[in-house]
Amino acid sequence: MKVDFTLYVCTDRHLMSSSSIEESVEKAIAGGAGVIQLREKDISSREFYDTALSVHAITKAHDVPLIINDRVDIALAVGAEGIHVGQSDLPALALRSMIPASMLIGVSASTVEEAVQAEKDGADYLGVGAMNPTATKTDADNVTVEVLKKIRAAVSIPIVIIGGINKTTIPLYKGLGIDGIAVVSAVVSAPDPEKAARELRALWLS
């Protein structure tokens, strides 16, 4: 699967300006999001499943991959295109034996060691961060530009950066061989998510 990692948008029902997750996703895709990650930390499995089904219908209609955060059972149940895991979740090596070969695995990494291990274990891409302080991950250690450069040099798989990525911080990370930006509030909390997505994508590609 050819994936456009340029603008990778993660959902957040507590931060969104839209009236529903589905509306938030529609607007993000209309603005140029090439990947949608569905993140649901505090709803029931049934509600997560139902939401994933309705969001997947939208992403499929636009030929945009849907990545499920953490929950491999939900990803499998709805036939999502991928699963994203953190360092405290199941490792990519274990996931690879549980899911179809075509399903993408993304792994969060904040050190060179984590990044190298993830690639070795079969990850298809890395989410590196947090690059800046962020409201969505208050416990995350920040990754310096120097560490980001070392991670880029150490792995060959695509990298998206996450954590306080917005119009102000984007210029800090251009020209480093990074494949895209992963955002939450910069799109979903914006008064006009479609416009915000379009502007961020254009700024990253400029």
**What tokens does 116 get?**
């190298």
Q: What is the pLDDT of residues 86-129, one digit of tens each?
A: 999 999 999 999 999 999 999 999 999 999 999 999 999 999 99
| pLDDT, position 138 | 65
| pLDDT, position 140 | 65
Please, which pLDDT band fits residue 137 given cuts at 50, 70 and 90? Answer: low
| pLDDT, position 134 | 74
Residue 135 is classified by DSSP as T
CB 206 within 8 A of CB 7: no
pLDDT above 70 covers what percent of the chain?
Answer: 97
Which of 13, 137, 150, 195 is flagged as catalytic? 137
CB 107 within 8 A of CB 92: yes
Query: Can you give the C-alpha Rg of the chain in angstroms?
Result: 16
Residue 102 is a catalytic residue: no
Please, which pLDDT band fits residue 78 given cuts at 50, 70 and 90? Answer: very high
Q: What whole-number distance in Å separates Cα of residue 173 and Cα of residue 78?
A: 34
Whether residue 188 has pLDDT greater than 70: yes
- 133 assigned to some structural domain: yes
Q: Looking at residues 64-77, what average pLDDT do you find?
A: 98
In a 3-state reduction of DSSP, which class is residue 151?
Answer: helix
- 1 assigned to some structural domain: no
Domain tally, the chain: 1
Q: Residue 16's domain spans which residues?
A: 7-205
Sort residue 82 into left (φ over 0), alpha (ψ -120 to 50) or beta.
Answer: beta
Please, which pLDDT band fits residue 187 given cuts at 50, 70 and 90? Answer: very high
Whether residue 47 has pLDDT greater than 90: yes
- 2 assigned to some structural domain: no
pLDDT above 90 covers what percent of the chain?
Answer: 94
Residue 3 is classified by DSSP as -
Residue 13 is a catalytic residue: no
**What tokens does 120 get?**
């070795």
3-state percent breakdown (helix, strand, coil) of the chain, nearest 5: 40, 15, 45
| pLDDT, position 141 | 75
- 29 assigned to some structural domain: yes
How far CA 179 is from CA of 26, 45, 49, 75, in Å, comes to 23, 32, 29, 24
Which of 18, 24, 108, 110 is flagged as catalytic? 108
CATH code, 128: 3.20.20.70
CA neighbor of 119 nearest in space, from 188, 183, 56, 111: 111
Q: Looking at residues 173-197, what average pLDDT do you find?
A: 98
Residue 108 is a catalytic residue: yes
- 71 assigned to some structural domain: yes
**What tokens does 23 get?**
């509306």
How far CA 203 is from CA of 1, 3, 30, in Å, comes to 25, 19, 16
Across the chain, mean pLDDT equals: 96
